[in-house]
Structure 1
Amino acid sequence: MSRRENSHAFLIDLDGTMYAGNSKIEHAEPFIGRLRELKLPFLFVTNNSSRTPEQVAEHLIRMGIAAKPEEVVTSSQATAHYIAGRKPGAKVFVIGEAGLKSALEGAGLELVEDQPDYVVQGIDRQFNYDKLARAVQYITDGAEYVLTNPDRLLPSDGRLVPGAGSIAASIQGALQIEPVVIGKPYEPIMRFALERLTFAEQVWAVGDNPATDILAGQAAGLRTALVQTGIATADNVEELLERSGASPDLICCNLETLLERLNLHPEGQASK
């Protein structure tokens, strides 16, 4: 393998970069295929806390994008890693769904309904007043509040729905506190992903959202590439960059252009 082929690795966003809901984004499949062909290390990194890595991989495979569970990093996994590293076997009260609960149990943490060491919150489509009241009580009693990701809105089949950050707003509003946040744009999820990534001279964070993907990459000291295939488009990119304060190293119209800019495109097939 050449020095060029050894030089790059990638932490790749999913929604808006690989797919939009249930639709594959153009150039996603050949982009991943080219990375595999060149044997360049990569991981898919998502703020999604509801799905297990197996479910994320299955979702990609259904759209024709080759993926393995071990190539997926979720905010739930990073959250479980964070807590297990601070207090192995900790007792955790969970506001979240199957993917989060599976990750926490897989890290040896105990899911409880009373007297937890941590209140861990992700997206929860069954969230209600009782869960809010319990979270407030436990945090007031001394439990540490950990949020998987701060996303307030999520794209879902052409519309926006409340995300984990919207639920967090109610808890934060009640207590006037800030949680420990694991997911993008914060650095813990990137640090966790980097620990699992094969060594490379240069690691790129790739995504469509300046306020999450790019800022997270910058926080972790990575090179960053913004693709205009989701949140960012050719029409709004300047506004989004100004609003977020993000400064990506590369701005590309799509993933094919990114391959070209990094001199990884197959010979004679460079995009126009």
Structure 2
Amino acid sequence: MIPATVKLNSKSVFLSQPYQPALADTDELVGRLDESRDVLAAWVAQPRFPRLCPLLVGDAGVGKNRLVYELARYTDKELYILQGHEDVTAEDLTCAVRFSDDAERKMDYVLSPLATAMLRGGICFIDEIGKLRPRALAPLASVLDERRYLDSVLLGERIHAHRGFAFIAATNGSDLVGGTLPEFIGSRLRPVIEVGYPSRAEIDEIVRRRFPRLERPAPASDRLISRFWQLWRDERGDQPPSPRDTLYLFGLMLNLVDAEGAPPGEVLLEAPAAPAPPDMRHLEAAFRRLFGRKE
């Protein structure tokens, strides 16, 4: 059970809550063996030398977050996520305050996902780290090297990392154009791991695992997946599809099937118990809606 609060010297502070991905036991990561091995190797703690802090770099939708979720599941560690954007401040990386629900207190201290992961020995994942401004990144310097501590001006405390603490960040390659990350952070994020586009076979396997409904009947699903690749080549040429784009497409296709089969006037918010099978027109309609293909 994860505690709601902890004591830091005389202060009671609230913890951030970990993210628990809704992954089924059968929903294993497809591919990414090399990238997974690189991250796990970086996280090996040597005597008198801390774990390295890898940086995942890849285009949007290729599966950087999904890789981190799988690594958290594999290592059985709590996962704490901090979403990067331009408005994140240095104090957002450490501690925030909020109006308290307790009548005896005016304000509550709330530790950031980073600070909570350090205390709990979990994984801190900063997504889109390339969008953070250099001034906001300053507190990370002492976290990512051998010091492994985080200072909070608001709390007036220094938080030392649990030995089990691990750190990983991700960014889109476009956010690194022109060297967005300052050198004092970029030099500490090692190794840099490129996350590229999956192969066609891996994309097909991702779709089949995420949507088991397509396996019934198998020949029909084969035709749908083949038609997807034909549509994609006609629209995008040699540009590969991302797993995100592909899953959105097939998810919308199934939604169109279910909405079409709903009784007149009924609002359908869940897939029916006995859904109808999709056909080519549903796939093509979903493709037009998402990618603007004109017939």
For normalisation by structure 1, the TM-score amounts to 0.31
Q: Which structure: larger Rg?
A: 2
For normalisation by structure 2, the TM-score amounts to 0.29
